[in-house]
Amino acid sequence: MTALRPILLVEDNPDDERLTLRALRQGHLANPIVVAHNGEEALRQVFDSALLPCVVLLDLKLPKVNGLEVLQQIRTSDRTRLLPVVILTSSSEDRDIIESYSLGANSYVRKPVNIDEFTEAVRQLGLYWALISELPPTLP
């Protein structure tokens, strides 16, 4: 039996982390959820783990290494360049959206201000990337 690939949540805001975890759990996903609180932790999780996540939910405004730098490093490695990365951020600035897609983000989702909308958006993201989307095979 193959181990389920985890969902990697990269979020430094404790309130957003709590809401996101709750929303993902409401989707009743069997995938484990791993949390990184800054860009350095995120890169360690991606590059040092034997099992790649099924998706990275990546905030842009992070301490140590920002989200765009994390995305850029993920895209430069043959092993991780196809890893689905969803930008999940409060930024609606055009330059952040353009740069995220230019660096290879699979999706850009602005965090809704309304808690119910936020919960539903994250629940749907988790269901889509963990259950519906066909993921590329993990490379050695």
Q: For residues 26 and 93, what is the distance between their CA atoms, to the nearest angstrom? A: 30
The per-residue DSSP string of 7-57 comes to: EEEE---HHHHHHHHHHHHHTT--S-EEEESSHHHHHHHHHH-SS--SEEE
pLDDT at 139: 54
pLDDT by residue (tens digit) across 14-69? Answer: 999 999 999 888 888 889 999 999 999 999 999 999 889 999 999 999 999 999 99
pLDDT band of 2, cuts 50, 70, 90: low
CATH number of 7-132: 3.40.50.2300
Residue with tokens 């050695």: 140
pLDDT by residue (tens digit) across 116-128? Answer: 888 888 888 888 8
pLDDT at 3: 73
pLDDT by residue (tens digit) across 65-108? Answer: 999 999 999 999 999 999 999 999 999 899 999 999 999 999 99
DSSP H or E segment with residue 58:
strand 55-58
pLDDT band of 138, cuts 50, 70, 90: low
| pLDDT score of 112 more than 70 | yes
Q: For residues 26 and 9, what is the distance between their CA atoms, to the nearest angstrom? A: 15
pTM over 0.85: yes
| pLDDT score of 113 more than 90 | no
Q: Cα–Cα distances in Å, from 84 out to 14, 15, 100?
A: 23, 24, 13
Q: Burial code of 25-40, b = ≥16 C-beta within 10 A, e = fewer?
A: eebebebebbbbbbbe
Nearest to 65 by CA among 100, 40, 48: 40
Q: Output the CA torsion sign for 23, 25, 30, 35.
A: positive
